[in-house]
RNA sequence: GUGAGCGUGGCUCAGUUGGUUAGAGCACCUGGUUGUGGCCCAGGAGGUCGUGGGUUCAAGUCCCAUCGUUCACCCCA
């Protein structure tokens, strides 16, 4: 019986990895422009870290975490908690007032897999720590938008404010009261949510609930003066940066630590999973985790979801895949022996080169060279060894010529590289492929 | 946790009202004159039809169970 990957865990095959690298490279480039530094974090953390940050009563903590109960250790379901733990543990705040950090890697949640949702999934996570100014909120959203735009993806940005610990409890109370008075009009899930997570009702997709919620008390009307000023300023800043957004007073977060500004980049092209990136401000969290009183804001992107969107794009999203510089077709044991030394010498000098040790027919080896998209092929057989002249073939033009294989491998490889440089049009070294 | 759908060679799928050695395309290998790729042609290798029961003279084709998987709910990136 064959061993397969476990449910919700997926192999990312070489063809698709090209896309991943494209996404990651683009993200790193954007982060560079916005002055973010990378931080690498462990995948395992103490369970308590997530319980305290994400919230004991959230679905994530309650039933979706991969936990080694005997060791009180959990595989991270998200990145922010770990990042803050690291930030606090190393007292990074003393080095400079504001930190801009990003990290990327696998996250783990034990949910039922479906389209755009895996048990091991990957996120790109960006956080700004130590800045409370609304302009920073806008800047972060602008960065997310730019990343998506440069990846060729259209997503809409929805923005909301969840208030702070001053104003949210009051709002929550009003909302629960409103919902309690209208239980009959709610779906079963929302009846439950009224008690477990009333804000969630605002986000229900059922038509009846949606209608009912339209007239519910609005969080935006309930903000305290400070939150209101902050949120207005965020919106002004977004306008100032030409970031398009939609106000969505019904948007809610699944993690408890969010305060004030929250936002979500969404798309309609992902089936039931509409969020491709989401985040918000969490001003009390660092302190709550035992750190200094420092505000923070951040967001996470789901890489799998980006990949799905890029794969779906019919207008041939093209990603560059490198080809190899030269393929050596060796005929006969002697030639194979010789070629293996020559190819090593080429590789030492930075050339990507392939050969085949099986001694198959020239036709078969040429076929393989073609499959590898080799720019050139060097043919070496008995005759060539005897004459010290190999056949050098340009795979695009099909032109062939003799090239000397005299001297030691050092001089031979140098000669070959000169030859490659002569004919190489470097724009052709990469060939666009559609995945 | 709940619901629905699907499980045939590496991939995408055909397989008529159950009936001889289970097919196709793609991919792979070998040939199409002696040492040359991407097209074409020919041939070849590769499947206990997810697994286990049952019905039947006979099951990939019907029934049950089980496992796997997909999508949706829930939740979320």
DSSP structure class, residue A114: B
A207 is near strand B: CB distance < 7 Å: no
A206 is near strand B: CB distance < 7 Å: yes
Per residue in A85-135, pLDDT (tens digit) is 999 999 999 999 999 999 999 999 999 999 999 999 999 999 999 999 999
ipTM of model over 0.90: no
A59: three-class secondary structure by DSSP? helix
- Which residues are within 8 A (CB) of A31 and not within 5 positions of it... i.e. 6 or more apart? A38, A102, A126
State the pLDDT at residue A428. Answer: 41
A window 348-377: Cβ near strand B (< 7 A)? 360-364, 366-371, 377
DSSP structure class, residue A37: E
What structural domains and CATH numbers belong to chain A? 14-167+223-312 (3.30.930.10), 323-434 (3.40.50.800)
State the pLDDT at residue A429. Answer: 38
A80 is near strand B: CB distance < 7 Å: no
A382 is near strand B: CB distance < 7 Å: yes
Distance A1 CA to B53 C1' (A): 20
Which phi and psi (to 5°) does residue A308 adopt?
Answer: -60, -45
Q: What is the DSSP string of A331-397?
A: -SHHHHHHHHHHHHHHHHTT--EEE-SS---HHHHHHHHHHTT-SEEEEE-HHHHHHTEEEEEETTT
**Is A60 in contact with A77 (CB distance < 8 Å)?**
yes
State the pLDDT at residue A70. Answer: 93
Distance A247 CA to B49 C1' (A): 55
Determine the Cα–Cα distance for residues A389 and A383; give it in Å rounded to an integer: 8
Per residue in A53-64, pLDDT (tens digit) is 998 888 899 889
Distance A200 CA to B23 C1' (A): 53
Helix (H) or strand (E) run with residue A301 in it:
strand A296-302
A300 is near strand B: CB distance < 7 Å: yes
Distance A54 CA to B2 C1' (A): 25
Per residue in A254-265, pLDDT (tens digit) is 788 899 999 999
**Is A263 in contact with A296 (CB distance < 8 Å)?**
no
| Residue A356: both structure tokens together | 């085949």
A273 is near strand B: CB distance < 7 Å: yes
Which nucleotide is nearest, taking the CA of residue A111 and each C1'?
A: B75
A125 is near strand B: CB distance < 7 Å: no
pLDDT bin (cut points 50, 70, 90) of residue A136 is very high
A116 is near strand B: CB distance < 7 Å: yes
Per residue in A311-370, pLDDT (tens digit) is 887 544 456 566 899 999 999 999 999 999 999 999 999 999 999 998 899 999 999 999
Per residue in A266-320, pLDDT (tens digit) is 988 887 778 999 999 999 999 999 999 999 999 999 999 999 999 887 544 456 5
Nucleotides of B under 7 A from a protein CB: 1-3, 28-31, 35-38, 68-77
| Residue A257: both structure tokens together | 């630590």
Which nucleotide is nearest, taking the CA of residue A10 and each C1'?
A: B69
- Which residues are within 8 A (CB) of A310 and not within 5 positions of it... i.e. 6 or more apart? A19, A22, A23, A151, A152, A153, A317
A189 is near strand B: CB distance < 7 Å: yes
pLDDT > 60? residue A426: no
Q: Which residue lies nearest B29, CA-to-C1' measured? A: A364
């Amino acid at each position: 019986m064959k061993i397969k990957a476990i449910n919700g865990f997926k192999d990312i095959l070489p063809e698709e990895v090209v896309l991943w690298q494209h996404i990651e490279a683009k993200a790193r480039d954007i982060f560079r422009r916005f002055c973010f530094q990378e931080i690498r974090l462990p995948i395992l953390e103490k369970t308590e870290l997530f319980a305290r940050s994400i919230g004991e009563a959230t679905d994530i903590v309650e039933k979706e975490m991969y936990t080694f109960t005997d060791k009180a250790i959990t595989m991270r379901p998200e990145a922010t908690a770990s990042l803050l733990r690291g930030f606090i543990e190393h007292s990074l705040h003393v080095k400079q007032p504001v930190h801009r950090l990003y990290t990327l890697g696998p996250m783990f949640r034990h949910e039922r897999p479906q389209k755009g949702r895996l048990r091991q999934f990957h996120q790109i996570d960006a956080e700004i720590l130590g800045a409370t100014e609304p302009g920073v909120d806008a800047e972060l959203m602008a960065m997310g938008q730019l990343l998506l735009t440069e990846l060729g993806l259209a997503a809409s940005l929805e923005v909301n404010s969840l208030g702070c610990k001053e104003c949210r409890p009051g709002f929550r109370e009003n909302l629960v009261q409103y919902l309690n008075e209208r239980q009959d009009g709610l779906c079963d899930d929302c009846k439950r949510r009224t008690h477990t997570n009333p804000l969630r009702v605002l986000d229900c997709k059922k038509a009846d609930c949606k209608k009912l919620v339209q007239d519910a008390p609005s969080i935006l009307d309930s903000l305290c003066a400070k939150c209101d000023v902050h949120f207005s300023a965020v919106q002004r800043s977004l306008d100032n940066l030409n970031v398009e957004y939609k106000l969505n007073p019904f948007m809610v977060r699944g993690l408890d630590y969010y305060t004030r500004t929250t936002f979500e980049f969404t798309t309609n092209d992902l089936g039931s999973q509409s969020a491709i990136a989401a985040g918000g401000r969490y001003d009390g969290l660092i302190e709550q985790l035992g750190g200094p009183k420092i505000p923070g804001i951040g967001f996470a992107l789901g890489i799998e979801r980006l990949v799905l969107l890029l794969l779906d794009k019919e207008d041939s999203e093209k990603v560059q895949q490198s080809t190899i510089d030269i393929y050596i077709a060796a005929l006969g044991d002697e030639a194979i022996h010789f070629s293996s030394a020559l190819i090593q010498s080429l590789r030492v000098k930075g050339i990507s080169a392939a050969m085949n040790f099986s001694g198959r027919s020239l036709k078969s080896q040429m076929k393989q060279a073609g499959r590898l998209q080799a720019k050139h092929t060097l043919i070496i057989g008995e005759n060539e060894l005897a004459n010290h002249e190999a056949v050098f073939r340009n795979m695009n033009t099909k032109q062939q010529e003799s090239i000397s294989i005299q001297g030691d491998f050092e001089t031979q490889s140098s000669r070959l590289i000169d030859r490659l440089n002569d004919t190489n049009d470097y724009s052709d070294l990469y060939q666009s492929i559609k995945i």
